[in-house]
Structure formats: structure tokens, C-alpha cells
Amino acid sequence: MSKRSRLALILVVLAVCFAFLWPSIKWYAITPKENQALALGSREKIKDYARNMAVADVNQLIADARANTAGPVDAKYEKLIAESRKNYKAMKKSLPAVWTARDVLAGFSSEADAFSFVENDYRERILAIKNTQTSAVKLGLDLSGGMSIIIKADLDAAVKSQTTGVTDIQKFKSEAMTQAIDTLKSRIDKFGLSEPVIRQQGDDRIYVEIPGAADSERINSIIMGKGMLSFHIVDEEATAAFLQYYQEHPTTTFDADYNLVDPTIIPSDTEVLGSYTKDSYGLDERVGFLVIKKEVGLEGKHIQGATTTRDNVSGLPLVNFTLDSEGTKIFADLTTKNVKKRMSIVSDDKIKSSATIQEAIPTGQVQISGFSSDEAENIKAVLRTAWLNVPLELENQSVIGASMGEASVKQGIAAILGGLAVVFIFMVLYYKGAGINACVAQILNLYIMFSILSALNLTVSLSGIAGMILTIGMAVDANVIIFERIKDELRLNKGRVASISAGFDRAFWAIMDSNITTFIAAAFLSQLGTGSIKGFAYSLAIGVLSSVFTALFVSHLMFDFNTEVLKKQKISISWRIKQ
């Protein structure tokens, strides 16, 4: 490869690596700590923050408008002014010379619209920061602190719990795991914990990572709870009476956990549950309360499948689900006795949907309507996994303190820098000027490694740092082989250009052989290993590739630069070889 081609390749690689590394630089070096804390929070926390900030901003604007403040609004309302200006133009109204609070609000049809815009702006800002964090290199729990949990899902018990035979066991188990993971995500996020990592591990295990400080007992109670789906009849009279009572006693009806302070306000055979829908954050948002019968009208295990269609006449979304033979009989009796009454779908102590029973349904083919497209899809997802009762068992749990994680980060950085410093000193002392080439190659080697880790969205752990430190030694080994081959050529009284060219050519296969075998070992470790072994294997494999590139391309180009640009005739590579 020509010198220009090598230079072009190196520049392209460095530019691409910078693009890969930029999210990590932006997250760790540029993003303020308070913004990091917001982005790492749960969706519940993001929602609360965005709404609270929007309420404060809009209320201040409304207060200024009512006070008829003549001065321009604060600079923080810049985006709101831009949106108001756009609305002025759409309404063909003349733009004010000075944007006062009253002028800004006049650009919106209502105060609620202004609030919605401000809240959305705050939400988008935090989500943009969260996207940066998602693309950045992440620290494992051993470096950041937090809690890791391994949960075993008893899929065989889930299969046995079905009243009807399961025809496709593998498909059933796959759906059961998907439902278990979705349930865990919903439960953990609901309690406002830090953004968790929840993923399937193997066939029947779920790995949960919760960064930061966490109450292990509280989290275990969240995770091990049950959330089977069921159908209940709504008690309309009790609901009307409860809502009247709640309107008169809004602060004393429930305790902190939303249990009734006075259970006698509803009949003993009923209970109050919140009615929920998905909001713009993807969270369950309570939109009201209903009083339902405690007696289960139909268990979700009788549902065999669910789909969504559209009404041929109105085009509105419809949700269809099919019951097994036992469920058909139960549902026929239930709907016959409760025509014109509302029936609620309850999952995880939340009312997911309510629909009026228009007529008796004896066939087991059920159709419900009155939803938006998104609501229909949400209900379908709930119904399709309604029969999946998956027992969960806590198999392993470990907690790492935040201070311990911070100490590990400092020790890991110290180990890398210390290793680099010792290698640099040795290379410069032993190989003189050529050692500087090796030092530059080492720095670029780490730069490329971190860039690839960021691009692949991998997590850096203590074992990964061990892989990086090992790579430092392996990378300098390639330079040592090259330098020794060059010294052999110089001993034959060859000139600078010939010695460098022959030295790199002769070292090529020795370097490739050793690194290929190491890469194969790392590849097998990454496939067969688990946890920390995988972290070590990934770092080692990436380090092998980057070290070969820096040794054969970067170091070679630096020698050529000294030859052609600096016009050097001799090579500073040894104390014992005289040129």
C-alpha cells in the first residue's frame, strides 16, 4: 500500500473513531452532572420533572400576563416565543415588537396548549440526553455501583398451569418470557428507580441491572409480585357513590399506597382500582377510578389469542379475542347476566380497559370497540399474553456500593495510565527515537479501542479494563518485533529506507500469526463465556485488531514521515548499532 493510501486510511479511521467516540465524550465530559442524573432516571422521574418544570414556567408566564408586565419575557421562553410566532403567522396576526408574557400566550389557543408545548420541550431535551447516554460507553456495575439480579422463570410450571394443552411449547415459552420481561420493566419503572437494564439470559433466566443505590428488599417485593389478567364486572352504583365521596374528600380518601382509609365507603364485595391508559412517555397514566367486583368473572388463562381489526362501516379499531371451551361457557354465563353493564380488564392491579356488554356472547368469539388505534394495540398486547402465568424465582443477587464502584474506576484508570507510563519509559529508553513511534501508536490504540466499544454499545467492566491492560502489552510486542527486524537489517549495513521496508515485511507474518491466534481465543471466550469473561474477551478482541492496525500502519507511516518530510538519513533505534 502506498504512503498516501496509508495516510488516507489512517485519517479516515481516526475520523470515524471520533464520530463513534463523540457520544461518550459528550456524555462524560460535556453533559452536566444534574442533566446526567435526569437522563438516567426512570420514565416516571422524567415525566414528573418535565411536568413540574412546565407548570412552574407557564404559571410564571400567566402571572406576568395578568400583571400586564410590559417588559420582554425571559430568555428561557425562546422556544415558546418561536412557536407563538409561528402561530401568529398561521392566524395572520401582526407580530408584536416586544414579546411580553401576554403576547406569547396570545399565540396559543389556550393555556393548556402552551403548557403542553413547554412540557414536550423539556421531555425532548431529556430524551436527547438519554439518547447520548445510550450511545456512550457504559460502565458496568462493578465500576458504577448498583444491584444485579438473576431471576429464573419457571416455564415448565407455566406450561402445566394451562387448562388446555399447549400445541407449540417453544412458542409458548418464548411468549411467556417476553411477557415476564415486559412486566418487570413496567413494575421497576413504576417505582421511579434508575433506568434498569433488563434482558433475557439463556432460555429461562432474566438478568436485571439497576445502577446506583437501591433498596434490595423493596425491589425484590416489586419483582416477585404477581400480575395475572382477569375480567371483572363494574359496580356502577358503587362507582358513582365513591366518585362523589372522592370529590368531597380528595386528600383523605386514600393513604400513601392508595389503599382506602375508610373501606366501608364501598360494598365489602368490591374494590377500587385505578383506570389507566398509556401517556406520551409510554407509561401507564391513571385517568380515573372504578369500583369493581372482587369476584373474578373470567380468568385470562382462558384466552387463546387476540387480534385487532377495523369496523367495515366506521373504520374504527376493534379488538377481537378467542376463548377456550371452558372460558366460552363461563363468558356466556357472565355476559348473559350482565348485559348493559361494564366489564373491566384488570392486570397487575390496574384497569387496562372497560367496555359495555351489549349482548350475551355465547360463541367464545369476543369483539370490543371504542378505542383509538394505540389503545387497541395496547389492549391486544395485554390480551395476547393474558394466559401466561410465569412463576418467578430470585436465583442470585449482588449489591455493589457506589463508593466501591467509584474507587474501582479510579484504580482501573490508574492501572491503565501506570501501565502506559512504564511501557513508554521502557520503549523510549531502549529504542530511543523509534520508541516514540510506539508510544504514539499505543495512544491511538487505546483511542480506537474506546471508539469501537462506544460504537458497539458495549459495557466497560473491571474485566474489560484487564483486557485493555493486556492489550497494551500485546500492542507494544508488535512494535518490538518490528524494531528488532529493522535492527537486523541495519546490522547488514542497509540504509534507512531499505531497513524499514524489510523490517516491516519480515515482521508482518510473525505479528499476524500471534494476533490471529489470540483473536480466535478471544472469539471463543466471548461465545462460551459469561459475565466478566465476556467483557474481558470483547476488550481483548478489539485490542488485537486496533494494535495490529496501529503497529503496521501508524508506526510505518511515522517512519516514512521522518524519512521523506524531515529528511532523516539514520534511524534512532538502538544504543548499540552505529550507522
Question: 290 - beta bridge partners?
Answer: 273
Q: What gap in Å lies between CA 90 and CA 87, rounded to an integer?
A: 5
Pairing state of beta strands 342-347 and 350-356?
A: antiparallel
- Higher-confidence residue of 47 and 381: namely 47
On the question of pLDDT at 496 being above 80, the answer is yes
- Higher-confidence residue of 154 and 141: namely 154
List, in order, residues 6 or more apart from 64 with CB less than 8 Å away.
Answer: 73, 100, 101, 102
Three-class SS state of 394: strand
Q: What gap in Å lies between CA 294 and CA 272, rounded to an integer?
A: 9
Q: What are phi and psi of 82, to 5 degrees?
A: -60, -40
Place of cell 450511545: 135
Three-class SS state of 48: helix
Lowest mean pLDDT among 76-90, 389-403, 466-480: 389-403
Return the pLDDT at 50: 85
On the question of pLDDT at 111 being above 80, the answer is yes
Question: 459 - beta bridge partners?
Answer: 138
Tell me if 359 sits within 8 A of 276, measured CB to CB: no
On the question of pLDDT at 141 being above 80, the answer is no
Q: Quote the mean pLDDT of the chain.
A: 82
317-360 pLDDT, tens digit per residue, is 888 888 888 889 999 999 999 999 999 988 777 888 888 888 88
143-200 pLDDT, tens digit per residue, is 777 777 888 888 887 777 665 566 778 887 887 788 778 777 766 655 544 556 788 8
Q: State the pLDDT confidence band at 292, using cuts at 50, 70 and 90.
A: very high
Return the pLDDT at 215: 53
Return the pLDDT at 259: 81
Tell me if 428 sits within 8 A of 462, measured CB to CB: no
Q: What are phi and psi of 92, to 5 degrees?
A: 60, 40
- Higher-confidence residue of 258 and 240: namely 240
Tell me if 526 sits within 8 A of 534, measured CB to CB: yes
Return the pLDDT at 188: 64
Question: What's the mean pLDDT in 246-275?
Answer: 85
Question: What's the mean pLDDT in 383-391?
Answer: 63
List, in order, residues 6 or more apart from 367 with CB less than 8 Å away.
Answer: 318, 319, 320
Question: Which amino acid is located at 524 in the chain?
Answer: F
Write down the H helix ranges in 432-461.
433-455
Lowest mean pLDDT among 119-133, 192-206, 432-446, 549-563: 192-206
Pairing state of beta strands 197-201 and 205-211?
A: antiparallel
Question: What's the mean pLDDT in 525-536?
Answer: 76
Question: 276 - beta bridge partners?
Answer: 286
Q: Which helix (H) or strand (E) element contains residue 286?
A: strand 284-293
Question: What's the mean pLDDT in 50-69?
Answer: 88
- Higher-confidence residue of 529 and 275: namely 275
Lowest mean pLDDT among 115-129, 433-447, 459-473, 511-525: 459-473
Write down the H helix ranges in 249-389.
325-337, 373-384
Angle at 198 between CA 197 and CA 204, to 5 degrees: 150
Lowest mean pLDDT among 138-142, 258-262, 434-438, 512-516: 138-142
Tell me if 464 sits within 8 A of 522, measured CB to CB: no
Question: 270 - beta bridge partners?
Answer: 293
- Higher-confidence residue of 257 and 49: namely 49
On the question of pLDDT at 78 being above 70, the answer is yes
Pairing state of beta strands 350-356 and 146-153?
A: unpaired
- Higher-confidence residue of 149 and 99: namely 99
Return the pLDDT at 1: 66
352's grid cell: 387496562
Tell me if 133 sits within 8 A of 36, measured CB to CB: yes
Return the pLDDT at 186: 64
Q: State the pLDDT confidence band at 6, using cuts at 50, 70 and 90.
A: confident
Angle between helix 169-190 and helix 43-66 axes, rounded to 10 deg: 40
Tell me if 309 sits within 8 A of 376, measured CB to CB: no
Question: What's the mean pLDDT in 538-552?
Answer: 87
Angle between helix 496-528 and helix 532-549 axes, rounded to 10 deg: 160
On the question of pLDDT at 45 being above 90, the answer is no
Q: What gap in Å lies between CA 260 and CA 346, rounded to an integer?
A: 19
Tell me if 139 sits within 8 A of 409, measured CB to CB: yes
Q: What gap in Å lies between CA 193 and CA 222, rounded to an integer?
A: 11
Q: Count the neighbouring beta carbons within 10 Å of the beta carbon of residue 168.
A: 9
Domains (range + CATH), the chain: 33-135 (no CATH), 146-223 (3.30.70.3400), 250-383 (3.30.1360), 403-564 (1.20.1640.10)
Tell me if 351 sits within 8 A of 344, measured CB to CB: yes
Angle at 496 between CA 492 and CA 500, to 5 degrees: 85
Tell me if 148 sits within 8 A of 397, measured CB to CB: yes
Tell me if 348 sits within 8 A of 186, measured CB to CB: yes
Q: Count the neighbouring beta carbons within 10 Å of the beta carbon of residue 432.
A: 15
**End-to-end Cα spacing for the chain:** 28
Question: What's the mean pLDDT in 4-10?
Answer: 84
Tell me if 481 sits within 8 A of 474, measured CB to CB: no
Radius of gyration for the chain, computed over Cα atoms and rounded to the nearest angstrom: 33
- pTM, entire model: 0.60
19's grid cell: 464520530
Return the pLDDT at 563: 85
Angle at 283 between CA 281 and CA 287, to 5 degrees: 110
Q: What gap in Å lies between CA 75 and CA 453, rounded to an integer?
A: 39
Place of cell 411477557: 179
Q: Count the neighbouring beta carbons within 10 Å of the beta carbon of residue 65.
A: 18
Q: Which helix (H) or strand (E) element contains residue 154?
A: none
Q: Count the neighbouring beta carbons within 10 Å of the beta carbon of residue 398.
A: 12
